[in-house]
Structure 1
């Protein structure tokens, strides 16, 4: 039986076409493996590409979009279920609630916000859902370097990397998403690090 996979990705119309193609490949692979999609509910750019490819492959798609972005991102009315939320916070909460695993594709500041929220919660033991970054072109290489630097400087613990998978391969990304991850045991120091 398939799982519900949440895909975080770009909705910008200026995105490199290679990223749109990657999103379509991810949607097709998701459907091929019998999973369902939870997305940001837009029909444009990478977000639209992953949803269309998933539906074309027979997958059920759920789009979650805040009211303020319905006209900006152009809501994906073809979704099997389209959920309109009052704001971004409730959007992320709804996507989290409906998902069994998270796949991060290249994206901008909104994608990074989603990635960090899910990643932090995983590190703190608030969920044990798989989290995978699919990055064949190295968009997130500077982020990995930044996080490695934070660990080296004692600002983060090395186990942050136990909470996330990184790959350049679409099939490997889904292999990682389908693999149960052991829960992380947070410490008092972990909680202290997560405070602003």
Structure 2
């Protein structure tokens, strides 16, 4: 599979570790070099802005999707290839999914987790069969991955559902894993009393 567009979920802040911005910059530039469209939340701040600026500087195509109330707060990037304005956050996520062939999460906060887990849930329910990647910059996602494993041990997440996403410490490795991703049929409910 060759992914032609990737949706980026990441922080509207830059975080405390310079490695996060460096990873966002590398991601934007790399997608542009590979002629992969960057789809993201449309902001000009934080890691979102860093990735978008890097992709644009490298001649890439960048598509933003932002709800109107955030655009009115003047956080929308004004130099994108395309900017879609939605009425709600729900519409934003649905359009981002529709425009993308896969998803990558960089470090971020509640919004990043919300978007990531919504795409994981949609994958679990076979709403989409697209690859989801976590770029584990400086071990940022280690606690989250430990929590997911805890959910498996405690009987809330089927171990088979761990195949819904791929994780890597470097961008080239992550993109390689995403390009070779094949969605396996996953059944959420085996019976009424089991996951």
TM-score w.r.t. the length of structure 2 is 0.91
- Aligned CA distance change for structure 1 residues 111 and 33 (closer, same or farther; 3 Å): same
- Aligned CA distance change for structure 1 residues 128 and 137 (closer, same or farther; 3 Å): same
- The Cα shift of 1:176 comes to 2.0
Instruction: Summarize deviations over 1:30-69 as a string: whole Å, max 9, x none.
Output: 1121211101000111101111111122211100011111
- Aligned CA distance change for structure 1 residues 190 and 55 (closer, same or farther; 3 Å): farther
- The Cα shift of 1:29 comes to 1.1
Gaps of 5+ in 2: none
- Aligned CA distance change for structure 1 residues 141 and 187 (closer, same or farther; 3 Å): closer
Q: Which residue of 2 aligns with 1:34?
A: 35
Q: Aligned Cα RMSD in Å?
A: 2.2
Determine helix, strand or coil for the equivalent of 2:134.
strand
- Aligned CA distance change for structure 1 residues 13 and 174 (closer, same or farther; 3 Å): closer
Alignment of 1:151-166 (within 5 A): 151-166=152-167
Contact residue 161 and residue 186 of structure 2 kept, 8 A: no
Q: 2: distance between equivalents of 1:79 and 1:91?
A: 16
Gaps of 5+ in 1: none
Q: Which residue of 1 aligns with 2:130?
A: 129
Q: Which residue of 1 aligns with 2:70?
A: 69
Q: 2: distance between equivalents of 1:190 and 1:142?
A: 30
- Aligned CA distance change for structure 1 residues 130 and 14 (closer, same or farther; 3 Å): closer
- Aligned CA distance change for structure 1 residues 37 and 159 (closer, same or farther; 3 Å): same
- Aligned CA distance change for structure 1 residues 88 and 55 (closer, same or farther; 3 Å): same
Contact residue 160 and residue 186 of structure 2 kept, 8 A: no
Q: Does 1:96 align with 2:130?
A: no
